[in-house]
Structure 1
Amino acid sequence: MDIKDMVFETKSFLEKKIGSIDAAIIIGSGLGNLVQKMNVEEEIPYKDIPHFPKSTVKGHAGEIIVGHIGTNKVLAFNGRFHYYEGYSLSEVTYPVRVAKLLGAKLLIVTNAAGGLNPKFHVGDLMLINDHINFMGVNPLIGPNIEEWGPRFVDLYHVYSDEYMEKLRKIAVEKGVNLREGVYLAVAGPTYETHAELKMMQGFGADAVGMSTVPECIVAAHMGLPVLGVSVITDLALPYIVQEITHEMVLQAAETASNTLSELIWQLLEEVSL
C-alpha cells in the first residue's frame, strides 16, 4: 500500500470517529499538559489508528485528543515522531497529512529546544519565525502527489504572519516575554558539540532541536498555515560547560508549558477557523 492509500485509510477511520476538525496541535517533549484544559470529546491511542506510527520517546504519550477550544474543534497529537527513532520522514510527517485532509486550517507545533541566543533564558518561549533544515534530509524527497501540493514548494512563508501577530498581541496582554527567532533542526539523537553550537550561531539560529521542521515543510506543501513555539529548556551555548539530559529537558518544558498553554488557548478562543 502506498502512502496516499495509507493516509486516506487513516483519515477515513478518524473521520468516522471524530468528523472534521478546524485546527491541529503537535505537542512536543514534556508539553503534554497543553491539552489538560480542553473539554475532551475523544481520546484515541496511536496504536489503535491504522498505519499510525507509535511514540517511543519518554515525554510523548502517544494518543490523539479531540475537543473544542472556543468555537474550534481541535485535534491534538499528544506525542510526536522523530527521525532519530528510526522513522522515515514520511512517517514523521504522517499526522500533518492526516490533519489537513480532516479539514485543519491551522497547524500549531510546539517543541523543546536548546537556546543558542545568549539573551535567552531557560523557560523562555520562542515564537518560531523561520527555520533552518540541518537534518540532511527533506520530507518531500521522492514521488510528488500533485493533489497534495506542488513538486517545488516555496518556504518563504511557512510560518503564518497573521497568527504570529495574534500570538504576539496575546503575549503582551498577558505580560509574557515572548521571544522570537530561528529554529534549527538537526537529526539527533545526540546533543551538539561546542564546535557545532558555534557553527549554528554563525548561521543565525536562535534555538536548536530535533523535530518540527519536517512537519512544517509538509504543512507548507499542503498549504496549511503554521504557528510554531519552542520552549527553551536548556542553554546550548558553546562557552557553557554543562551536562544535558533528557530528564532536564522534560522538567524545564513542563515548568513552562502552563504559560504556553494559556497563550495557545486564548489564541484558539479568539479566532474562528
Structure 2
Amino acid sequence: MRLYTEMKETVVRRLTTFPKVAMILGSGLGYLTEQFEEPLAIDYREIPGFPTATVEGHSGRLVFGTFQGLPVVAMEGRFHFYEGHRIEDVSSPIYLFKELGVSNLLITNASGGINRSFSPGDIVAVTDIINFGFRNPLRGENDRRYGPRFPDMSEIIDFAWLKVLKSRLEKAKIDLKEGTYCWTLGPSYETPAEIRAFEFFGADLVGMSTVPEVIAARHCGIKLLVLSCVTNMASGILKEKLTHADVVKTANRIRPKFTAVVQHAVESIKETEQ
C-alpha cells in the first residue's frame, strides 16, 4: 500500500485545504466541477501510479475546490476494468481519498434501466449491488491499516445520509428512485438474454463501473452514497440499439436535475453530522 502514500505526497504539495467529500463523476457528468469555487485541477498523469481514463466523456483529472460550502475533490472520469486496468487500480482512488482524510464519498454513474418502471433521465439511489463482474479489489494480502480482511457488505451505503437526501428532495419536488445495481465487465453492452437473467436476480440497473469502488469504500470505512443516472433502457427492454453517444446525450439533457440532486446530497452531509 506504499503507492497510496506516494500518490498522497504528490497531491498534497498542491493543496491548501484537504477535502472532506469526494465525488466520482461518471460518463457525461464531469460538468459538475463547473460549480466548484476556487477549483484546482490535477491531471491523472501527474500522479505517480495513478491510472489514466480512456473513455469518451471522462476527462481524466482530479478537481479540488469548495462545493456547497464543503471542501471537496472530484474525479472527472473513473477507471473501468474493461479498459485493461488491474482491478486494484480501478479502486486505487478510494484509498487515495482515505489517505487525504475524506470521510464521505458520492459515486455517480450512467446506467441502463432494467426495472420497467424506470425511464431514461431518472435518477436512482443505489441501495444494493450485484457483482456479476466476479472481480474483487480486495483479493490478495490485506492491509489492516485500511480495513478488515472480510468487510461487511450488508449495507453498502449510508442510509442515514440517504434519508436526509430523500427528505430534502421531497421538499424540492425532485423524484429519486431506489434500486439494485448490477455490475458487468463490458465493454460490450449486455444481450437481451443477460438482461432477463439479471432481472430475475433482482437487478434494477446495469452498468460497467461502481462496484469495485463500493467494495473499496466499505473496506476502508468511508461513508458512501451512490446516484445513478438512467441514460437508456437495457438491451431487450425496448427495441432500440445502444450507443455510448446516447448515454452522454441523456446525461447532458438532465444536467439541471442531476446537478440539483448532487447539491442536495452534499448539503445533506452537514445534517447527518449534527
TM-score category by the smaller chain? over 0.9
**Gap runs ≥5 in structure 2:** none
TM-score, normalization by structure 1: 0.95
* Distance of 1:105 and 1:72 partners within structure 2: 12
* Distance of 1:90 and 1:116 partners within structure 2: 28
Tell me by how many angstroms 1:237 deviates. Answer: 5.3
Tell me by how many angstroms 1:14 deviates. Answer: 1.1
* Distance of 1:271 and 1:193 partners within structure 2: 39
**Aligned position for 1:234:** 232
Contact persistence 2:39–2:64 (CA under 8 A): yes
Tell me by how many angstroms 1:208 deviates. Answer: 0.2
**Gap runs ≥5 in structure 1:** none
**Aligned position for 2:11:** 14
1:137 to 135, 138, 141: 135
Tell me by how many angstroms 1:20 deviates. Answer: 2.0
Contact persistence 2:190–2:235 (CA under 8 A): no
Render the CA deviation track for 1:91-137: whole Å, top value 9, x for unaligned. 11111100011011101000000000000011000010111111011
One-letter code of the match for 1:139? P
Tell me by how many angstroms 1:47 deviates. Answer: 1.0
DSSP-derived class of the 1:177 partner: coil
* Distance of 1:16 and 1:183 partners within structure 2: 37
DSSP-derived class of the 2:254 partner: helix
1:123 to 121, 124, 133: 121
**Aligned position for 1:110:** 108
Bigger mean CA deviation after superposition, 21-30 or 162-171: 162-171
**Aligned position for 1:83:** 81
Bigger mean CA deviation after superposition, 237-246 or 15-24: 237-246
DSSP-derived class of the 2:111 partner: strand
**239 and 269 in structure 1: CA distance in 2 versus 1, 3 angstrom threshold:** closer
**Aligned position for 2:166:** 168
Contact persistence 2:169–2:264 (CA under 8 A): no
DSSP-derived class of the 1:17 partner: coil
Tell me by how many angstroms 1:271 deviates. Answer: 3.2
DSSP-derived class of the 2:215 partner: helix
**Aligned position for 1:50:** 48
**Aligned position for 1:94:** 92
Contact persistence 1:59–1:79 (CA under 8 A): yes
Contact persistence 2:161–2:269 (CA under 8 A): no
Contact persistence 1:35–1:261 (CA under 8 A): no
Tell me by how many angstroms 1:250 deviates. Answer: 0.7
**Aligned position for 2:223:** 225
2:176 is aligned with 1:178: yes
What's the RMSD between the two structures over aligned residues?
1.3
Tell me by how many angstroms 1:215 deviates. Answer: 0.2
**Aligned position for 1:73:** 71
**1:186-201 matched pairs, under 5 angstroms:** 186-201=184-199
* Distance of 1:258 and 1:155 partners within structure 2: 33
Render the CA deviation track for 1:169-225: whole Å, top value 9, x for unaligned. 122122111111000110111111111010000011100000001001000000111
One-letter code of the match for 1:199? A
**Aligned position for 1:269:** 267
The alignment of Structure 1 onto Structure 2 pairs a total of residues equal to 270
* Distance of 1:28 and 1:77 partners within structure 2: 9
* Distance of 1:172 and 1:237 partners within structure 2: 31
